């Protein structure tokens, strides 16, 4: 199922599928089936009823979304529709549908089940990105290029170090996001008041059975009114998306033809037949741009009233689905981009040379300061870079050996390679 046209950059086909009507219904049915089975196993409902309930594998979305508005919960029309389906097959079973559970139990757990489907999609793309970035970093460990601060040239780095920096941030962000996924993939099951009172003293036992049935974590208590675990998932998507967007922004900037240091594959234009755009980076930036506002929306909805919110909680579904999809869209685009990127080390070196040594001014100052004082050195160097190369400007004051090495980028890389290796080690 492709993403909606309006969401072209805000989702991917795979993730759009994950939160589609079919997926929502499948997740809700899965909860109800698992609940019935767990209840049957514990003797709470008849086994035949459980079988009849678990046998339903389709509900027509029909007017469910409109009906949901009447009760402020999708669960009511859904349970009604499910009950009707069960009744067709086994009238006696119909009375056992959703037995003792509450709307939020099925909705929260269904959301968690959908999130569990989304995780491997993201994980696969992250693995792809990580692999590509590691390769890129190793391949260009010796490709010198300008660092750029405030969009202005600074002393040299290597592209391998730059790529390792991208990797480090993406890796750390993903690791935290993975932990947040684990923390969030927990059953919600509390009944009408969060006490499971409908099951007498068997609530915790049933909750454990249900969690096992669904292969979900079982929290110490229901979390219907406490959304911190979901919030962590959403927030860490925000951080991960930020780390991805940083890569995309760098690439879009490096691909400016006046800089020309990297090039994405693809990216045509409707008006200019031969134009090549940083399409992947732009898609990633467009997707990632959605996320901070959605994170804010989730956080702002956290102060939920009492045992079930009056508005905030009901706002969460599209927020969470939107965050996951946008993050996944940015990820897919960055992974594709990195996998297909062309790097131009010649152009990188040429751009260093085009500064006529100015980016080595710091180095010159450091060489001269011990001899003449820093202020004098800075003043001398500042003059030296006007109207000539730094090397020419300092021909009279540096030794031939110093002069020779002065503007060799390889001689002013400091710990770039050390840092690069450390970053790669951290991601192993």
Active site residues: 269, 308
Residues 73-132 that bind a copy of itself (CB under 8 A): 73-76, 79, 94-96, 98, 100-103
* For a copy of itself, the closer CB: 132 or 287: 287
Q: How far is the CB of 150 from a copy of itself (least distance, A)?
A: 4
Q: How far is the CB of 250 from a copy of itself (least distance, A)?
A: 6
Positive or negative: CA dihedral 214, 220, 226, 228: negative
Residue window 372-411: x/- pattern of binding to a copy of itself, with contact defined by CB under 8 A: -xxx--x--xx--x--------------------------
Q: How far is the CB of 360 from a copy of itself (least distance, A)?
A: 9
Quick one: angle between helices 21-41 and 75-89, nearest 10?
Answer: 60
Distance of CA 226 to the CA centre of its chain: 23
Picking from 164, 162, 221, the residue whose alpha carbon sits closest to that of residue 187 is: 221
The CA-atom distances, in angstroms, between 262 and each of 254, 278, 343, 417 are 6, 10, 4, 20
Q: How far is the CB of 295 from a copy of itself (least distance, A)?
A: 6
Using a 10 angstrom Cβ sphere, with 0-12 exposed, 13-18 middle and 19 or more buried, the burial of residue 157 is buried
Stretch that binds a copy of itself, among 115-123, 124-132, 364-372, 399-407 (CB under 8 A): 364-372
Residues 304-333 that bind a copy of itself (CB under 8 A): 304-315, 317-319, 321-322, 332-333
Binding-site member from 53, 211, 241, 398 for a copy of itself (CB under 8 A): 241
Binding-site member from 138, 172, 388, 405 for a copy of itself (CB under 8 A): 172
* For a copy of itself, the closer CB: 135 or 411: 411
What per-residue string of b and e applies to 346-378 under the rule 16 or more CB within 10 Å gives b? ebbbebbeebbbbbbbebbbebbbeeeeeeebb
The CA-atom distances, in angstroms, between 203 and each of 28, 72, 101, 194, 196 are 20, 26, 11, 10, 5
- 60 sits near a copy of itself (criterion: CB under 8 A): no
Q: How far is the CB of 145 from a copy of itself (least distance, A)?
A: 10
* For a copy of itself, the closer CB: 119 or 337: 337
């Amino acid at each position: 199922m492709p993403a909606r046209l309006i969401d072209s950059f805000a989702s991917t086909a795979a993730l759009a599928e994950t939160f589609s009507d079919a997926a929502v219904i499948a997740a809700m049915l899965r909860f109800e089936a698992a609940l019935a089975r767990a209840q049957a196993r514990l003797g709470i409902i008849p086994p035949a009823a459980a079988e009849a309930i678990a046998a339903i594998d389709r509900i027509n979305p029909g007017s469910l979304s409109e009906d949901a508005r009447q009760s402020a919960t999708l669960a009511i029309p859904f349970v009604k529709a499910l009950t009707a389906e069960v009744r067709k097959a086994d009238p006696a079973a119909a009375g056992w549908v959703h037995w003792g559970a509450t709307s939020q139990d099925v909705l929260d757990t269904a959301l968690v089940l959908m999130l569990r489907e989304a995780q491997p999609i993201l994980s696969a793309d992250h693995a792809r990105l990580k692999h590509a970035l590691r390769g890129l970093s190793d391949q260009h460990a010796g490709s010198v290029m300008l660092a750029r601060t405030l969009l202005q040239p600074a002393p040299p780095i290597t592209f391998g170090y730059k790529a390792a920096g991208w990797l480090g941030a993406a890796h750390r962000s993903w690791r935290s996001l993975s932990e947040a996924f684990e923390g969030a993939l927990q059953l919600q099951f509390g009944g009408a008041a969060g006490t499971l009172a409908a099951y007498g003293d068997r609530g915790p036992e049933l909750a454990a059975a249900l969690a096992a049935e669904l292969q979900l974590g079982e929290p110490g208590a229901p979390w219907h009114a406490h959304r911190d675990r979901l919030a962590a998932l959403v927030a860490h998507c925000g951080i991960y998306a930020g780390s991805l967007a940083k890569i995309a922004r760098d690439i879009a900037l490096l691909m400016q033809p006046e800089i020309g240091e990297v090039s994405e594959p693809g990216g045509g234009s409707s008006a200019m037949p031969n134009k090549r755009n940083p399409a992947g980076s732009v898609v990633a930036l467009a997707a990632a741009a959605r996320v901070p506002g959605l994170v804010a929306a989730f956080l702002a909805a956290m102060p939920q009233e009492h045992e079930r919110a009056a508005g905030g909680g009901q706002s969460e579904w599209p927020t969470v689905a939107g965050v996951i999809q946008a993050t996944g869209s940015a990820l897919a685009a960055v992974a594709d981009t990195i996998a297909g990127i062309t790097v131009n080390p010649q152009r990188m070196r040429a751009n260093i040379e085009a500064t006529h040594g100015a980016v080595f001014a710091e180095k010159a100052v450091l060489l001269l300061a011990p001899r003449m004082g820093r202020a004098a050195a800075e003043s001398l160097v500042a003059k030296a870079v006007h109207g000539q190369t730094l090397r020419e400007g300092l021909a009279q004051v540096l030794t031939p050996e110093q002069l020779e090495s002065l503007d060799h980028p390889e001689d002013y890389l400091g710990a770039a390679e050390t840092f690069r290796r450390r970053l790669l080690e951290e991601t192993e």
